[in-house]
């Protein structure tokens, strides 16, 4: 083998200042590589060569997915795929991840992409009820995934019609390959902590000092902080007698430590078997995943089984099955403002309250309440439970028959069954359950969906240069949902939390909902020697969710591409592999999120009486929410595509936005659904990938990549006026979720008063909150985002790293009015330790106003004081591995062995020093005191034989 290094560039093409190098290979090797044609999955299980694509797609291969210790694949998209943003509202294992493709396409309608597995749509999102929260995609084994392709423009998505407006994510699962059986075993184990430290709570000494300072600022005649402490301890201040417990306690409880798990772990075990011959291929796998949160009694575990079979029965007839079965169990905790929420307790409970009694049992306070009337969250984690169990069966069965040489018929039948059991138990010993002698809530949610497809495909070639491909598609989809829930009180035996062990029935409720969709589509593709490319599609969908006259929607797309690298005079330039222009335009639908969206909804009870009453209103004029995406892109490839560059511009317009219009209370209903306006998402996407060094295992290999996306989200018309709240606005010229609040001007250094800008922008300030005007203060959406990756190896040692970043967005801390209350709530709810940086005559440059018992001029009301720049850079994943050589494994019966160490969310840098929330928080730009996102360190091994 020739290992001499040679420069592939001509001295003018460089990547980050470095020329591209490669180890020389034999001509046979190069010839074989040039014959490999990369394919992309497009609509309905069909494949197309990358060179033939006119639309906008991005693909993530199995290598980027394997071994990463996350429960669901949607959490891996951030920074890896251009144009895609993700966020997690919580660090709950198995929890839901928000995904947005090229911005937010709606206000109330669908904003999340649909998911297609091997050509068939599957359920996604959170399908649970009120007791728990879980991501149904977490029931899919990521180790079964061969590739993940994001479809982003009209020509790529229009074939899916009514549901494709927010994007389509196509997941292709692994299949067996021709050859002897292959066995693979993988195992990893890891430990987790907080990815971001977050806000710390006050310790006992800080809390005592802060409360005393606030009281002194309210009653200056008390003289000094020490005098206030003494007066409070001895109940000498009228109306504040209850504060004596703060100063007559020796406790110094760290409520974060009290609820944190000391050994949060994650483990994943996977076994697969695959193989095949000329007529049969098979793939089987079994996987077990188990992850614990860094907060006690929060976890997710899953068992999956996959059986995939493809059979070539005759030269003309083929059939196959793909069976996926899974069972998962999730333990969740209270969130938001629920007093059982352990994250809330970290900041609301007083550090001067003890965690335990002298005998080691949990301290429950007087009459079952802590000194401020709340509950011991650490005790509730052991006494209460919220458990969800999900069983999912997905079957994908197909049959193909070659009617003629180039005419093929494909039939697909794909049922999906999901059964979710949820149980919530509140102990009678402590917490919300005490007033009811225990509470239980149990429910079962059942989803049965099925998809039927009939596809007729015809392709042919003329003169070896003109390629034609046509398809006619019929698809029918039906969903049947049933829910049954009951709640009861007065537990019989403490050891049994099932609802049958409770004496008094509180409520019984049930729901049944059905919806269906059927559609017809035609697609066409033409290319002239892969030089000129043309694509077109048309689809008509009929949905049961809309009213008569509005049920049907028509969707279409057209795309064109020209690869100039196919021209003879450019072919002579060896350095150029691809020089392609592509453009597309079309009309797609946006999925409906309510059921039924435009029909009457009924409530079948009225208090304790049997009755039928309206809970929703009919709108005969409600129209489809439609999206018209335009896309233009350029693809460049050099040195046999060792260096690739892509640049795109997109403009995605949504028409007839659907929104809940508020109604007056006199009308008996809270709102009705109507179309209110239009919006547009537009921006640029850039990606570059380079194999700088590429050779054998024993040589140095280096590849790098990066992507950058921009986003401009803007409402272009509203049929009514602006829609304003205390913190947000919907108005022409601004984004879907635009922050709209008073602008914080800091603290008056002369007296510690809070200040706001009078006009909401700049200039004159005021200490009168009501005199200051609200103004637009930015958007929660990042306007620039993306990622970068590097992969290198040498003599079996591999190092991979992946970074993500985002700039231009803003995050609002919607609980800061309690946590940084400047005296309004501190006596009852201790809050953040950041409160200690408050104004005094000696600290005139403080971050917080003078704390005054009862509050300081509404300083803690909504304003940009609690609005932070979300700009960040994160090392999302890093992996160090070693692969053993064949010589070492010779005689062992093993084909491959790799050991590795890995870290996820290893490092995060934020550019706003005030921001202590995780910057990749849920994509609505707010925090709801959910479980913190985790950083994980793991070690693992993969064995093939």
What does 482-528 look like in DSSP terms, one character per residue? EEEEEEEEEES-TT--SGGGEEEEEEEEEEEEEEEEEEEEEEEEEEE
Query: Residue 654 pLDDT more than 70?
Result: yes
Which range of 431-435, 527-531, 540-544, 745-749 scores highest in mean pLDDT? It is 745-749
Tokens of 59: 């693909």
Give the separation between CA 487 and CA 37, rounded to whole angstroms. Answer: 58
In a domain, 909, yes or no: yes
**How many angstroms from the chain centroid is the CA of residue 741?**
27
Residue found under tokens 């592939």: 8
Weakest mean pLDDT among 149-153, 259-263, 837-841: 259-263
Give the separation between CA 85 and CA 100, rounded to whole angstroms. Answer: 5
What is the model's pLDDT at position 62? 83
Q: 375 by DSSP, 3-state: which?
A: coil
Give the separation between CA 69 and CA 36, rounded to whole angstroms. Answer: 32
Query: Residue 43 pLDDT more than 90?
Result: no
Signed CA dihedral, 363, 365, 371, 374: sign only: positive
Which has more pLDDT, 481 or 263? 481
Mean per-residue pLDDT for 545-557?
85
Q: Looking at beta carbons, which pairs linking 666-675 to residues 24 or more positions away fall under 8 Å?
A: 668/614, 669/614, 669/615, 669/616, 669/617, 672/616, 672/617, 672/619, 673/108, 673/594, 673/597, 673/598, 673/617, 673/619, 673/622, 674/619, 674/621, 674/622, 675/621, 675/622, 675/623, 675/625, 675/719
In a domain, 773, yes or no: no
What is the model's pLDDT at position 846? 98
Give the separation between CA 281 and CA 913, rounded to whole angstroms. Answer: 56
Give the DSSP H/E element, type plus range, for residue 454: strand 439-462
Query: Residue 5 pLDDT more than 50?
Result: no
CATH number at residue 39: 2.40.170.20
Helices 225-233 and 204-218 meet at what angle, rounded to 10?
A: 100
Q: Residue 638: beta bridge partners?
A: 576, 643
Which of the four pLDDT bands, split at 50, 70 and 90, describes residue 132? confident
Give the separation between CA 845 and CA 301, rounded to whole angstroms. Answer: 50
| 508, 518 contact by CB (below 8 A) | no
Quick: pLDDT tens for 419-468.
999 999 999 999 999 999 999 999 999 999 999 999 999 999 998 899 99
Burial of 630 (C-beta count, 10 Å sphere; 0-12/13-18/19+):
middle
What is the model's pLDDT at position 369? 94
What is the model's pLDDT at position 591? 65
In a domain, 335, yes or no: yes
Mean per-residue pLDDT for 669-681?
84
Per DSSP bridges, beta strands 114-117 and 168-173 are parallel
Give the separation between CA 187 and CA 587, rounded to whole angstroms. Answer: 46
Cis bond before residue 596 (omega within 30° of 0)? yes
Closest CA to 352 of 252, 232, 259: 252
Per DSSP bridges, beta strands 643-655 and 626-638 are antiparallel
Cβ-based neighbours of 733, under 8 Å, separated by 6 or more: 714, 715
In a domain, 122, yes or no: yes
Query: Residue 608 pLDDT more than 70?
Result: no
Tokens of 564: 């100039």
In a domain, 349, yes or no: no
Query: Residue 670 pLDDT more than 80?
Result: no
Mean per-residue pLDDT for 204-227?
97
Eight-class DSSP state of 19: -
Cβ-based neighbours of 556, under 8 Å, separated by 6 or more: 158, 536, 537, 538, 539, 586, 587
Give the separation between CA 189 and CA 783, rounded to whole angstroms. Answer: 37
State percent of the chain over pLDDT 90: 73
Give the separation between CA 310 and CA 320, rounded to whole angstroms. Answer: 4
Q: Cβ atoms within 10 A of the Cβ of 540, count?
A: 16
Residue found under tokens 């290198």: 792
Which of the four pLDDT bands, split at 50, 70 and 90, describes residue 661? confident
Quick: pLDDT tens for 457-476.
999 999 889 999 999 999 99
Phi, psi of 928 (to 5 degrees): -125, 35
What is the model's pLDDT at position 601? 60
What is the model's pLDDT at position 97? 85
What is the model's pLDDT at position 22? 39
Tokens of 527: 């290319």
Weakest mean pLDDT among 137-151, 230-244, 619-633, 660-674: 660-674
Query: Residue 666 pLDDT more than 90?
Result: no
Quick: pLDDT tens for 696-718.
888 999 999 999 999 999 999 99
Quick: pLDDT tens for 326-344.
999 999 988 777 888 999 9
In a domain, 542, yes or no: yes
In a domain, 586, yes or no: yes
Query: Residue 13 pLDDT more than 60?
Result: no
Phi, psi of 448 (to 5 degrees): -130, 115
What is the model's pLDDT at position 495? 81
| 821, 827 contact by CB (below 8 A) | no
Query: Residue 46 pLDDT more than 90?
Result: no
Give the separation between CA 745 and CA 332, rounded to whole angstroms. Answer: 40
In a domain, 77, yes or no: yes
Query: Residue 36 pLDDT more than 70?
Result: no
Q: What is the mean pLDDT of the chain?
A: 90
**How many angstroms from the chain centroid is the CA of residue 496?**
36
The range of the structural domain enclosing residue 933 comes to 6-197+261-273+281-340+375-660+677-737+780-813+868-944
How many distinct structural domains can be found in the chain? 1
| 61, 81 contact by CB (below 8 A) | no
Give the separation between CA 872 and CA 868, rounded to whole angstroms. Answer: 11
Weakest mean pLDDT among 165-174, 551-560, 869-878, 922-931: 922-931
């Amino acid at each position: 083998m020739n290992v001499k290094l040679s420069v592939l560039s001509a001295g003018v093409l460089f990547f980050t200042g470095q020329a591209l190098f490669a180890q020389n290979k034999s001509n046979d090797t190069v010839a074989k590589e040039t014959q490999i044609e990369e394919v992309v999955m497009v609509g309905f299980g069909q494949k197309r060569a990358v060179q033939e694509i006119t639309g906008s797609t991005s693909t993530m291969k199995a290598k980027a997915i394997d071994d990463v210790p996350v429960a669901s694949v949607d959490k891996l998209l951030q920074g890896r795929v251009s144009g895609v943003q993700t966020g997690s509202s919580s660090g709950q294992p198995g929890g839901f991840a928000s995904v947005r493709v090229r911005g937010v396409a709606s206000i109330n309608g669908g904003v999340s992409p649909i998911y297609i597995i091997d050509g068939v749509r599957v359920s996604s999102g959170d399908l649970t009820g009120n007791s728990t929260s879980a991501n149904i995609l977490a029931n899919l084994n990521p180790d079964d995934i061969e590739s993940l392709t994001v479809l982003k423009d009209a020509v790529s998505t229009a074939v899916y019609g009514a549901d494709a407006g927010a994007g389509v994510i196509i997941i292709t699962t692994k299949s067996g390959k021709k050859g002897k059986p292959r066995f693979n075993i993988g195992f990893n184990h890891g430990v987790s902590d907080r990815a971001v430290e977050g806000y710390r709570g006050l310790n006992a000494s800080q809390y005592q000092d802060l409360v005393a300072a606030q009281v002194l600022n309210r009653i200056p005649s008390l003289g000094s902080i020490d005098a206030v402490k003494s007066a409070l301890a001895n109940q000498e201040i009228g109306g504040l007698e209850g504060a004596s417990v703060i100063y007559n306690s020796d406790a110094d409880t760290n409520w974060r430590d009290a609820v944190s798990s000391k050994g949060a772990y994650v483990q994943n075990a996977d076994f697969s078997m695959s193989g095949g011959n000329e007529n049969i291929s098979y793939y089987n796998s079994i996987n077990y995943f188990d992850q614990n949160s860094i907060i006690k009694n929060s976890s997710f575990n899953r068992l999956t089984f996959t059986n995939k079979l493809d059979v070539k029965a005759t030269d003309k007839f083929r059939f196959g099955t793909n069976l996926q079965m899974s069972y998962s169990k999730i333990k969740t905790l209270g969130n938001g403002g629920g007093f059982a929420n352990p994250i809330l307790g970290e900041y609301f409970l007083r550090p001067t309250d003890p965690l335990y009694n002298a005998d080691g049992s949990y301290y429950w306070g007087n009459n079952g309440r802590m000194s401020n009337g709340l509950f011991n969250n650490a005790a509730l984690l052991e006494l209460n439970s919220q458990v969800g169990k999900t069983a999912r069966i997905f079957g994908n069965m197909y049959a193909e028959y070659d009617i003629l040489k180039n005419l093929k018929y494909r039939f697909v039948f794909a049922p999906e069954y999901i059964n979710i059991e949820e149980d919530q138990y509140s102990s009678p010993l402590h917490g919300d359950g005490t007033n009811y002698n225990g509470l239980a809530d149990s429910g079962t949610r059942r989803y049965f969906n099925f998809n039927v497809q009939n596809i007729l495909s015809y392709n042919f070639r003329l003169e070896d240069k003109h390629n034609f491909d046509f398809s006619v598609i019929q698809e029918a989809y039906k969903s049947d949902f049933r829910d049954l829930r009951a709640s009861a009180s007065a537990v019989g035996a403490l050891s049994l939390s099932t609802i049958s062990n409770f004496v008094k029935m509180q409520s019984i409720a049930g729901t049944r909902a059905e919806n269906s969709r059927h559609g017809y589509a035609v697609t066409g593709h033409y290319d002239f020697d892969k030089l000129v490319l043309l694509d077109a599609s048309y689809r008509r969908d009929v949905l049961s969710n809309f009213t008569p006259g509005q049920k049907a929607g028509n969707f279409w797309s057209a795309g064109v591409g020209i690869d100039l690298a196919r021209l003879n005079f450019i072919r002579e330039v060896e350095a150029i592999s691809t020089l392609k222009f592509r453009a597309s335009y079309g009309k797609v639908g946006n999925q409906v999120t309510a059921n039924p969206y435009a029909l009457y909804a009924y409530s079948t009870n009225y208090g304790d009486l049997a009755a039928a009453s309206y809970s929703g209103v009919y709108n005969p004029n409600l129209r489809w929410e439609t999206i018209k995406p335009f896309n233009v892109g350029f693809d460049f490839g050099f040195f046999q595509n060792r260096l690739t560059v892509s640049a795109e511009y997109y403009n995605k317009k949504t028409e007839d936005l659907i929104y809940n219009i508020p109604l007056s209370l006199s009308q008996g209903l809270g709102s009705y659904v109507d179309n209110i306006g239009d919006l547009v998402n537009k921006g640029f996407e850039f990606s570059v990938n380079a194999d700088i060094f590429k050779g054998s295992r024993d040589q140095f290999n280096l590849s790098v990549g990066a992507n950058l996306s921009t986003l401009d989200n803007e409402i272009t018309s509203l049929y009514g006026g602006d829609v304003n709240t205390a913190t947000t606005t919907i108005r022409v010229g601004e984004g879907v979720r635009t922050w709209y609040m008073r602008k914080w001007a800091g603290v008056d250094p002369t007296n510690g008063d809070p200040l706001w800008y009078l006009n909401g922008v700049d200039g004159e300030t005021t200490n009168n909150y009501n005199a200051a005007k609200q103004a637009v203060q930015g958007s929660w959406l990042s306007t620039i985002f993306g990622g970068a990756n590097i992969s290198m190896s040498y003599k079996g040692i591999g190092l991979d790293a992946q970074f993500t970043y985002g700039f231009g967005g803003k995050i609002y801390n919607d609980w800061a009015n309690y946590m940084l209350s400047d005296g309004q709530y501190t006596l009852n709810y201790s809050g953040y330790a950041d409160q200690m940086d408050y104004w005094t005559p000696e600290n005139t440059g403080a971050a917080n106003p003078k704390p005054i018992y009862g509050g300081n001029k509404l300083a803690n009301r909504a304003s940009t004081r609690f609005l932070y720049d979300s700009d960040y850079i994160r090392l999302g994943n890093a992996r160090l591995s070693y692969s053993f050589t064949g010589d070492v494994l010779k005689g062992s019966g093993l084909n491959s062995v790799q050991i590795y160490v890995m870290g996820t969310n290893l490092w995060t840098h934020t550019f706003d020093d005030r921001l202590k929330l995780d910057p990749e928080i849920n994509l609505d730009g707010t925090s709801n005191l959910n479980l913190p996102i985790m950083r994980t360190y793991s070690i693992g091994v993969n064995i093939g034989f």
